[in-house]
Amino acid sequence: MTVAVLPAQSPRPDHGPDDTQVLNAWAEWLRDRLDPQWRPGEWDADLLLFVGDPSNPRTSVGVCSVAGCGVPIQVQLTGYCAPCRKAHVRSGMTREEFEAAHKREFRRGNVTRGSAICAVPVCDRSAQAQGLCVNHYRSWVKARNRPGIDKAAWMAALKPLADVQQCRVLACTRERTNTNGLCRTHHRKWRQWAGRADVGESDEVAVARWAEHQPPSLAVHMFSLAPLSPVAQLEMLYALQQRDAREQPLSPQAVRGSVARLSDVPSIALAGDSYPECRWSGRGSTGMGEGTRALLHGVRWEITSAFEQFQGVDPTQQRVWDLRTVSQVLPSLKKGVSPLRNRSSLDFGEVRQEWLREALMHWARTANPNSHSLRRWHIACVIASRALELRPDGGMDPGKLRFSDVTAVVEGFKRAVNQNGELYSSSFQGHLLANFFELLEFGRREGVLDGLSPRFVRHPGHHRIKEVEENEEEIGKAIPELVIRQLDGHVDLLGNGFPYGDLPPDAVNAMFRTAYVILRDTGRRPAEVAGLDVDCLEFDHGEYQLVWHNMKGRRRRRRLPIHQETADAVRDWQKIRVGLDLPSSSARHLLPAITNRYRHLDSGNLSRCIRSWVDSIPVLDSEKLGPEGTPLPFDRSKIFPYAFRHTFFICSAFASVRDVGFAA
């Protein structure tokens, strides 16, 4: 399969003459940035055709699991193609019984298998009637009434016909059967279109233009960019390659749906309100699947960002930063905790004081922060800005700020809350306050805060946040021992109805049961449990130790003594894990990811599974008694992965063993 950059083509004259020069330059800019080696074996640039490989984990395509079928399918829970899925429903069998007994019968040709070939040995044309191509069928109709005619002998005596000519539609491999150069399928579509457009069916110029932007027959694992205008072809290919670079999965079905809705758009960058996402957004988007809607949304973002780069717009000079766009200018942002796969914005306008906002933006442009640090310094400045807004002049004049203003800012940090309205922990408040004063020092050194009053400085004796004992903060968040015992009695329900990639239900239960035991017995943070290495157990001096990575403190391979029961749970899962077909990206991790996009279990999936499990438990009593002496129901919203860390801390403190391996 050839892989090449799309050839230069003149854009269709569907736009204003003033746009022609811009579109030509824009198209050239895109060509210079396309990867000619993108998706070898799947993408054919000469044919504008993508044929998805089910073995590629980054392509959202599967294969029907019925033996002998092998038809590519969209990744879905059933694992069957449409005919096999219908046959399974009609059979009334279990999945195992159906797969053992069912055999797919192919009654007609389709794009997956191709058309049947003429039964004449020397003919490779498509069979159309009684196993014969059109020419040989017509000859057989004339010959079959001859006395003593034998069909097999008649076919064996035939000579080869002229070479088969393919349909004039790009990438269509079917035989052309009409004088207009189209196969039977495309000829039928041409007649329908010509009738609606009031165009003569024999108009050679019209049929050539029509065929130029027709896709071949496509299966679920294929898409064609032929229906798009030449510029839109470049734009779509650029967007898909950019999404690929961020390891976002490629769904051929979503691309096919997007192409169908963009076929009349001369250029995505200049589409404006004619972009289909704008026309059909919302719940009334008839016929548009979520995958198509999401891709249209993503493609528009990709092209808008690229067009701004083409125009020379510096994204770091704007007040609202799209971190994915800015990361192209500041690569350090990609090194944060997030891979920046999805849209992520940062509004510097939330910092009302211009002097503080400019200092923060200057630091962001010059200090090479990662996305995690940038967000935290931004939060710190927003908190300080809100505190300064309450001062007499709103803190707008940096030269008038005094000691009392610093005190007001510190008090603002003490009252700071997160997005859920919960007060930040004292330690986090202290970290944010330190970030704010670090920014002021940076600004003074860089000369961007020369106008800041020398009295607006931190006084170590007054401007500090006392760190509350962790025990005092966390004691109310611990899960009572009575509730823990009830949870232990229902571990068989863990993961029920929680689909997790290709893992069978019993493996899903075993994996999340192991994660629960580790959370309960070790007090590690959810992300630390999710990211455990596959060889996380060590046996030393007669006891097991859990080897874990302190993500928050950036200290790797820490060791924590654990009980035999905990070690047994990990070892049991390790044995089960060996026999599973897991994503290759998870080879080094104990708890595998759901797809190859990630390395290990996502802590968000762990949280959702735990909460779903807790909600499924029929009865969960609290330690409190009601008026009649019966236990009151426990508040299930208090059970989440991080709560087990609080519980471990409290139990360790009460047992006077807080120092046993517990590291913040």
Instruction: Tell how strand 345-347 and strand 537-540 pair up.
Output: unpaired
Structure tokens, 646: 């609080």
Answer yes or no: is 116 within a domain.
Answer: no
Do 370 and 299 fall into the same domain? no
* Confidence at residue 541, expressed as pLDDT on a 0 to 100 scale: 80
Contact of 603 with 612, CB cutoff 8 Å: no
Q: How far is the C-alpha of 11 from the C-alpha of 229, rounded, in Å?
A: 7
Q: Are 140 and 154 in contact (CB under 8 A)?
A: yes
Q: Token pair 């350090």 is at which residue?
A: 332
Please tell me the predicted confidence (pLDDT) of residue 43.
96
Confirm whether 336 is domain-assigned.
Answer: no
What confidence category does residue 597 fall into, taking pLDDT thresholds of 50, 70 and 90?
A: confident
Which of 178, 194, 213 lies at the terminal end of a domain, its last residue?
Answer: 213
Residues 568 and 623 in one domain: yes
Q: Which residue has the tokens 């962001």?
A: 364
What are 107-121's pLDDT values in tens digits?
Answer: 444 444 445 788 999
- Residue 71 CA, chain-centre distance (Å), reads 25
Beta-carbon contacts of residue 471 (< 8 Å; ≥ 6 apart):
649, 650, 653
Asked if 250 and 152 sit in the same domain, the reply is no
Same domain, residue pair 44 and 86: no
Highest mean pLDDT among 134-138, 206-210, 247-251, 281-285: 206-210
- Could you tell me the residue range of the domain that residue 152 belongs to? 134-213
* pLDDT classification of 518: cutoffs 50, 70, 90: very high
CA distance 197 to 332: 54
For residue 589, being part of any structural domain is answered with yes
Is residue 390 included in any domain, yes or no? Answer: yes
Q: Is the pLDDT of residue 584 over 70?
A: yes
Same domain? For 580 and 611 the reply is yes
Instruction: Tell me: do 492 and 586 sit in the same domain.
Output: yes
Phi, psi dihedrals of residue 300, rounded to the nearest 5°:
-65, -40
Q: Which residue, 213, 236, 253, sits at the end of a domain?
A: 213
Q: What is the pLDDT of residues 473-483, one digit of tens each?
A: 444 578 888 99
Q: What is the pLDDT of residues 336-376, one digit of tens each?
A: 444 455 557 889 999 999 999 999 999 999 988 888 889 99
Q: Using 50, 70 and 90 to split pLDDT, how confident is the model at 20?
A: confident
DSSP β-bridge partners for residue 621: 633
Task: Report, as an integer, the average pLDDT of 64-91.
Answer: 80
* pLDDT mean over 612-633: 88
pLDDT at 291: 84
Q: In the prediction, which pLDDT does 542 show?
A: 81
Count other C-beta atoms under 10 Å from residue 367's C-beta: 15
Quick one: pLDDT at residue 340? 52
> Tokens 């010059």 belong to which residue?
366
Q: What is the C-alpha to C-alpha distance for residues 340 and 604, in angstroms, rounded to an integer?
A: 16
**Cα(493)–Cα(611) distance, integer angstroms:** 12
pLDDT at 15: 42
**Strand 222-224 to strand 72-74: parallel, antiparallel, or no bridges (unpaired)?**
unpaired
Residue 2 lies in a domain: no
pLDDT at 579: 86
Mean pLDDT of the chain: 84
- The answer to whether residues 289 and 257 touch, using CB atoms and an 8 Å cutoff, is yes
Quick one: 251 and 390 in the same domain? no
What are 141-196's pLDDT values in tens digits? Answer: 889 989 989 999 999 999 887 777 889 999 998 888 888 999 989 999 999 999 99
The yes-or-no verdict on residue 278 having pLDDT over 60 is no
**CATH for 524:** 1.10.443.10
pTM over 0.85: no
Could you tell me if 197 and 249 lie in one domain? no
Q: Is residue 561 part of a domain?
A: yes
Instruction: Return the pLDDT at 202.
Output: 87
Of the candidate ranges 35-44, 283-292, 510-519, the one whose mean pLDDT is the lowest: 283-292
Residue 102 confidence (pLDDT):
86
44 vs 539, higher pLDDT: 44
Confidence label for 657 from pLDDT (cuts 50, 70 and 90): very low
Least confident of 57-71, 74-88, 235-249, 414-428: 74-88
**Strands across the sheet with 49-51, in order?**
43-44, 49-51, 222-224
> Are residues 574 and 439 part of one domain?
no
The average pLDDT across 304-322 equals 85
Is the pLDDT reported for residue 623 higher than 90?
no
197-to-8, 187, 193, 399, 415 alpha-carbon distances in Å = 29, 15, 6, 72, 68
Please enumerate in sequence order all residues whose Cβ is within 8 A of that of 173, keeping only pairs 6 or more positions apart, or say none: 114, 166, 167, 216
Dist. CA 65–CA 99, nearest whole Å: 8
Q: What is the mean pLDDT of residues 463-485?
A: 71
Q: Taking 90 as the threshold, does the pLDDT of residue 378 lie above it?
A: yes
Residue positions counted in the chain: 664
Tell me the average pLDDT across 441-463.
91
pLDDT at 92 over 80: yes
Q: Indicate whether 629 and 498 sit together in one domain.
A: yes
In a domain, residue 610? The reply is yes
Q: How many domains does the chain have?
A: 5
Average pLDDT over residues 28-38: 96
Q: Please indicate, yes or no, whether residues 202 and 229 belong to a single structural domain of this protein.
A: no
Q: Is 574 helix (H, G, I), strand (E, B) or coil?
A: helix
Whether residue 476 is contained in a domain is answered as no
pLDDT tier, 75 (very low <50, low <70, confident <90, very high otherwise): low
CA–CA distance, 260 with 273 (Å, rounded to integer): 17
Task: Quote the pLDDT of residue 643.
Answer: 87
pLDDT of amino acid 112: 46
Could you tell me the two tokens for 187? 């000829």
CA–CA separation, 46 vs 48, rounded Å? Answer: 6
> 422, 446, 470: which is the final residue of a domain?
446
Residues 208 and 248 in one domain: no
Q: What is the mean pLDDT of residues 510-535?
A: 92
Give the pLDDT of residue 449.
Answer: 95
What number is the average pLDDT over the span 641-660? 66
